Amino acid sequence: MKKKILENIKTIFHALIIALIIRTFLYQPFYIPSSSMEPNLLVGDRLFVSKYTYGYSRHSFPFSLNIISNRFLEKTPKRGDVVVFKTPADNRTDYIKRLIGLPGDTIQFNDGNLYLNNKIISRSKIKNSIYINCGGFNFKADTYTETLPNGKEYVAVYSSSNTMLNTDKFKVPANHYFFMGDNRDCSKDSRFLNSVGYVSFNNLVGKARIIFFSNNISKGNFFQIWKWHKSFRFKRFLKVIE
């Protein structure tokens, strides 16, 4: 009996070690708790983030263990990537946003248009006045396809009436990046220098790759089997993140 218990403990220990290695060096699951990336990521989406895409830093390890000071096996992020990072404010909280500005870039809103290095970001309107979630309320928004200079396309939404029209010019420091939520008027991101601001390369955790599960929590939770047909967003299962 004692031998069987020890064998079970050993099996569990090995499983935990394997899970820890996968989580640290390969893929880590994340949950979307806010609407800042709508309509591309919804509250209740669960996704896998690749930890190897940009190399590894202290934030690749559980609890951001301070065992290394710089990144190793580093690879340069690309404009348009959807990235999980630790906020500079506390180096602990996970945020997920889209990478807009690289080191040395300038970013500015002027008359409601987004400028990158003094050139307007191309966008084409898809829909007028759809309802987009923002925390506990909805607002009317216009939907656009935006195209970055490297050809990366994605969908972004702007409030139909109260969008951010003008900002100061943001200059991205060396070894830092500028992130924005796709839900432009419902996102705390690099535009807010006191809370997020420019994000150090070392703070990047990984690249969002695929939605493996999605549940609309307002229509039922996982344990309410009789509501699965309403709460589970089956069309989002295994959806690649653009």
pLDDT of residue 53: 97
Among 97, 187, 190, 214, the active-site one is: 97
Using the predicted structure, report yes or no on whether residue 206 has a pLDDT greater than 90.
yes
Which of the following is catalytic: 36, 159, 187, 190?
36
Check residue 135 and give its pLDDT. 81
Task: Residue 37: count other Cβ atoms within 10 Å of its Cβ.
Answer: 25
Strand ranges (E), the chain: 27-31, 45-50, 82-86, 94-101, 106-110, 113-116, 119-120, 122-134, 137-147, 153-159, 170-171, 176-180, 199-200, 204-214, 239-240
Band of pLDDT at residue 148, cut at 50, 70 and 90: very high
What digits encode the pLDDT tens for the residues 153-191? 999 999 988 888 889 999 999 999 999 999 999 999 999
> Residue 149's pLDDT is what?
96
Known catalytic membership, residue 36: yes
Neighbours of 156 (CB within 10 A): 24
CATH label, 28-213, candidates 2.60.120.380, 3.40.1160.10, 2.10.109.10, 3.40.640.10 = 2.10.109.10
219: annotated active-site residue: no
Which residue bears the tokens 């970013």?
107
